[in-house]
Amino acid sequence: VLGVTDHPTGAWVTQLARNLAADLESAGHRFTHLIRDRDAKFTVAFDAVFASIGVDVVLTAPQAPRMNAIAERWISSVRSECTDWIVITGRRHLRDVLDAYVEHYNAGRSHQARGVGLRAPDDDPNVVPLPTTPNRIKHRQRLGGLLNEYQPAA
């Protein structure tokens, strides 16, 4: 989650793009394409930020709502698993809750899609999980027990 604001503008979105580009480069992450919709907030300056790091910006087709399915699925997940169960008290609280959920989604939550093998997106693809049942399980609660993470204890 890059930012939260009541009134996003082109300049605000462009600054978030700069922050993301810097974070990606410093972390060594690399991607080649960015798919975005045609909202007026995504200005030429926004696209230029990604072009400067070699990312090709691809626009969704006009009036094609099904093209946003992946984003809508993630939003549905965050709402049904998190924000629908918490009373958000302000912008900072929302940011903290969403940051905790993103970390949980990418590292602590097992994904049950076909071929994923119950791995989270940030799991090391070079480590094969052992099929044995561990003797002890480590349980971690997030957001006051709303999110639960389970891992084999060392």
pLDDT tens digits along 92-117? 999 899 989 888 887 766 655 445 55
Share of the chain above pLDDT 90, in %: 21
Q: CA geometry: angle at 59 spanning 57 and 76, to 5°?
A: 105
Could you tell me the pTM of the whole model? 0.57
Q: Are 88 and 94 in contact (CB under 8 A)?
A: yes
What is the rounded distance in angstroms from the CA atom of residue 41 to the CA atom of residue 82?
A: 27
Q: Please classify residue 132 by burial: count the beta carbons closer than 10 Å to its beta carbon, then call 0-12 exposed, 13-18 middle and 19+ buried.
A: exposed
Residue 34, helix vs strand vs coil: strand
